[in-house]
């Protein structure tokens, strides 16, 4: 037996299965199949309009077809998912591409493989924009080949799948907090699903604790006139210390939106070691966060942090510590 521990391979196994799915939708296999069904004249027409002449000449010297690097309208109309092929080739993350600027309207092309009527007239403009990105790539590298195209996409896929894994970690942490809150107010619960729990508070009104997205959790009181926001909670489940400041920055952006939506309380829960970063630093990096908690301490019912958290939840939800009588 080795004196060293066995290192886990689970992340690479997950990458393998994620790659299998993406290969058939977003890589050269999918592009080849789509090109087989396209009229050559349509491809040639789009190449002349959307691929600058210098790029055509350069790619010809490398025996690489223009549609391998340049996003063409005829390709996107034939197979909208291939927008993901070009996005990966250019090294642009889904969040960077779809969550900023005007490109969010095209997200459903990659996700659903369908072209909505409202965006169909804008695909030419999209391809013209991406043509500029492709030109930067062609100008910036010293050689072009199918192998290089594939390798660049694989690098981007790795980052995307890691981001997806981090999202799953965050979702799991949010579920843990939702269950923790539910247990603390269990006597007052009147409805409990995977995504939300509804309680009756001391005033006879309903309070909803819900897993959401941006923020991860919300606590809202239901009034006759309108819902009253109570608390927005960001849960950062990642454990690596090196990325903690980025996660705090993400929490701050979410809490700024929550404040604008009327949430008076914004809490941030992190999952790094409690002694790894000071609360003073966190407060400077996320001034919109009214409270900070450590996930590990919240999951330990013997800690003061757990008791403080539960007391705050019961206070904002207006439920007593004693069992409810229904």
pLDDT at 170 > cutoff 80: no
**Which pLDDT does position 324 carry in this prediction?**
44
3-state secondary structure of 222: strand
pLDDT, tens only, 59-94: 999 999 999 999 999 999 999 999 999 999 999 988
Nearest to 26 by CA among 167, 152, 164: 152
Q: Is 246 helix (H, G, I), strand (E, B) or coil?
A: helix
Query: Coil, helix or strand for 249?
Result: helix
Residues 34, 89, single domain; the answer is yes
pLDDT for position 282:
85
Say if 230 falls within a structural domain: yes
Q: Are residues 57 and 95 in the same domain?
A: yes
Count of all residues that appear for the chain in the document: 326
Same domain, 180 and 129: no
Judgement on whether residues 179 and 135 belong to the same structural domain of the protein:
no
- One domain for residues 248 and 309: yes
Q: For position 161, what pLDDT does the model report?
A: 64
Residue 164 lies in a domain: no
Q: pLDDT tier at 135 (50, 70, 90 boundaries)?
A: very high
Residue 124 pLDDT level (bands cut at 50, 70, 90): very high
Into how many domains does the chain fold? 2
Domain that holds residue 226: 169-317
Q: What is the pLDDT of residue 232?
A: 93
Residue located via tokens 């409805």: 191
pTM for the full predicted model: 0.55
Same-domain check for residues 185 and 311: yes
265-270/291-294 β-pairing: parallel
Do 210 and 263 touch, CB atoms closer than 8 A? no
Query: Which CA distances in Å does 3 have to 6, 8, 33, 38?
Result: 9, 16, 50, 59
Answer yes or no: is 322 within a domain: no
Residue 62 included in any domain: yes
CB atoms within 10 A of CB 140: 7
Check whether residue 174 and residue 134 sit in a common domain: no
pLDDT category at 326 given cuts 50, 70, 90 is very low
In a shared domain, residues 34 and 129: yes
In-domain check, residue 157: no
pLDDT (tens digit, 9 = 90+) per residue, 186-221?
Answer: 899 999 988 889 999 988 999 999 988 778 899 999
Question: Considering the domain boundaries, does residue 190 fall inside one?
Answer: yes
**Quick one: 126 and 199 in the same domain?**
no
pLDDT digits (tens, 9 = 90+) for 273-320: 888 788 888 889 999 999 999 988 998 888 999 999 999 999 999 988
Cα separation, 270 vs 18, whole angstroms = 27
d(CA 257, CA 218): 13
Assigned domain for 187 exists? yes
């Amino acid at each position: 037996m080795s004196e060293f521990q066995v290192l886990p391979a689970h992340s690479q196994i997950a990458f393998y299965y994620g790659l299998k799915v993406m290969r058939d939708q977003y890589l050269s296999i999918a592009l080849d199949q789509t090109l087989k069904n396209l009229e050559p004249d349509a491809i040639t027409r789009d190449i002349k309009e959307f691929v600058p002449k210098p790029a055509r000449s350069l790619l010809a010297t490398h025996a690489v077809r223009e549609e391998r690097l340049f996003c063409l309208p005829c390709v996107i109309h034939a197979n909208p998912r291939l927008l993901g092929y070009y996005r990966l080739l250019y090294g642009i993350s889904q969040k960077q591409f779809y969550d900023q600027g005007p490109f969010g309207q095209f997200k459903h092309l990659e996700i659903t493989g369908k072209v909505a009527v409202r965006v169909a007239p804008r695909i030419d403009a999209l391809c013209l924009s991406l043509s500029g990105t492709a030109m930067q790539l062609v100008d910036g590298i010293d050689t072009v080949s199918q192998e290089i195209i594939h390798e660049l996409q694989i690098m981007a896929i790795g980052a995307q799948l890691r981001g997806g894994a981090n999202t799953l970690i965050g979702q799991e942490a949010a579920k843990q907090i939702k269950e923790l809150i539910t247990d603390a107010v269990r006597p007052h619960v009147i409805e409990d699903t995977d995504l939300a729990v509804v309680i009756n508070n001391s005033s006879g009104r309903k309070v909803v604790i819900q897993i959401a997205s941006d923020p991860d959790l919300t606590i809202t009181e239901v009034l006759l006139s309108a819902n009253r926001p109570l608390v927005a909670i960001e849960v950062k489940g990642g454990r690596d210390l090196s990325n903690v400041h980025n996660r705090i920055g993400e929490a701050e952006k979410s809490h700024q939106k929550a404040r604008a939506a009327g949430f008076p309380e914004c809490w941030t829960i992190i999952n790094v070691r409690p002694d790894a970063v000071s609360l003073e630093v966190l407060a400077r990096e996320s001034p919109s966060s009214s409270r900070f908690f450590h996930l590990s301490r919240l999951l330990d019912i013997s800690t003061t942090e757990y008791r403080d958290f539960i007391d705050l939840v019961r206070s904002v939800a207006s439920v007593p510590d004693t069992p409810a009588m229904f």
